[in-house]
Amino acid sequence: MPVLALAICYGRVAEFQPRAGWAAFAVLLAAGLTGAAAVALREDQSLSRERAGIHAAGAVAALALGCAMLLRDHWLTLAVSLFLPALAWIAAQVDLPALRRVALAIAALVLVRLLLNWYVLDYGFGRWPVVNGLIVAYALPAVAFALAAAMFRRQADDLTVGVLEAGSVALATVFVSLEVRQGFDPDGALDAPSLGFPEAALHVASLSVLAIATMRIAERLGRLVLYWSWRIQGGLALIGGVLLILSNPLVTGDEVGRLPLLDWLLPAYLLPALLAVVAWRHPATAQPPVLRPLLAGYALIAGFVWLTLEVRHLFHAGSIGLDEVAVEDAELWAWSGAWLAYGVGVMAVGIAAENRRLRLAALAIVGLTTAKVFLVDMSDLVGLWRVLSFLGLGLVLIGLGAAYRRLVARPPEHA
């Protein structure tokens, strides 16, 4: 009631404007409620302990109100989130379970303010990439959530711990996404509607990295919340990766950079494909059964798309759209050679891992390359390029067949 009365008076008199004097009153009220909690703790009665918990909750509410009277925007959210580790420490020292419910309410308040408040994008986070106000607004609250979750978990594993763990992952994910958005807008406007290919590539790559990191942490801590968190992060990365495959620069004509192999195709396709392979090999992806084939299929297709686009980029420094630049004869031959090399590489991995699906995927890639040579290269290539295409294809097919018979389809040994 005292905290509520102070909040009403502040709203009526100061009209919710920053006032240091009102914040001082809130601090005095918090000190009084803290003293009342200390007095109640000295009494050896169960009701006294509950009363101490109520007074402690009131002290925290008064401090939060004081922060609201003095701070604005992301500084206010940071100040409130820093109460969480302090509450966890106090709850452990004086054994006040009621503070866990207070921490749950504060965590919900911070998450609503940072994740469901559209106007947070209008805050002045600065124009510098990486080193800006987003660290204060999201990174530090994420650390506070994680620290409070670890401290509360020492006493009990309940809803408060789960919300704090989930909030930490959510804030960290949004922090990385907004940092990517901030880096591509010179004015620092986070709500800008444009989303180019480079930014989309970094979003997919960063989500993939976060999913792998969260998966490792979940494996070490054995936390169910983190287990589902990396699945959500990975699912978002997978959806973004599929969209980039469908709307790739060959179709859209987007710029991919100036330096081949060191361009935006690397975070858009190759890095997510490699991380998908890492996740595919991890035991945590065994369930559900469809997850591993999905990861393997995405990795194969993303790697194939990256190889195709990089070959295209090697021949054309600017735009690589099919509608803007014609395909050269040498480029057709280079595609055939790169696809064959990719199929042979996948076949080698499938043989080494004794994975039949990988071997079938390699045969599909080689079959696609063979069809391209006969249906496309034979009609468009002339002279030496035609000879090189057929000669290279024939040698690779002969070698691949010999290796397959020797290493996979071995004849039965006779006694």
**CB 175: neighbour CB atoms within 10 A?**
20
What is the predicted pLDDT for the residue at 328? 79
Distance between CA 338 and CA 59 in Å, rounded?
A: 67
Asked if residue 411 has a cis previous peptide bond (ω within 30° of 0), the answer is no
Task: Provide, rounded to the nearest whole percent, the portion of the chain with pLDDT above 70.
Answer: 86
The closest of 241, 244, 237 to 196, measured between CA atoms, is 244
Within a domain: 394? yes
Within a domain: 101? no
The closest of 240, 250, 244 to 313, measured between CA atoms, is 250
Within a domain: 375? yes
More confident residue, 311 or 374: 311
Within a domain: 301? no
How much is the pTM? 0.81
**CB 397: neighbour CB atoms within 10 A?**
14
Reported confidence tier of residue 414, pLDDT bands at 50, 70, 90: very low
Within a domain: 397? yes
Within a domain: 120? no
**Of 63-77, 165-179, 260-274, minimum mean pLDDT range:** 63-77
Task: Calculate mean pLDDT across residues 350-377.
Answer: 81
Task: Provide, rounded to the nearest whole percent, the portion of the chain with pLDDT above 90.
Answer: 30
Within a domain: 228? no
Distance of CA 288 to the CA centre of its chain: 21
Is residue 230 pLDDT above 90, yes or no?
yes
The closest of 201, 136, 213 to 173, measured between CA atoms, is 213
The closest of 284, 331, 288, 292 to 308, measured between CA atoms, is 331
What is the predicted pLDDT for the residue at 281? 86
Is residue 144 pLDDT above 90, yes or no?
yes
What is the predicted pLDDT for the residue at 257? 85
Is residue 177 pLDDT above 80, yes or no?
yes
Reported confidence tier of residue 415, pLDDT bands at 50, 70, 90: very low
Q: How many domains does the chain have?
A: 2
Residue 54, domain extent: 1-70
More confident residue, 230 or 401: 230
What is the predicted pLDDT for the residue at 29? 84
Mean pLDDT of all residues in the chain?
A: 83
Is residue 327 pLDDT above 70, yes or no?
yes
φ, ψ (nearest 5 deg) of residue 132: -155, -170
Q: 265, 310 in Cβ contact below 8 A?
A: yes
Is residue 412 pLDDT above 50, yes or no?
no
Is residue 249 pLDDT above 50, yes or no?
yes
Within a domain: 145? no
Rg (CA), the chain: 30
Distance between CA 301 and CA 280 in Å, rounded?
A: 14
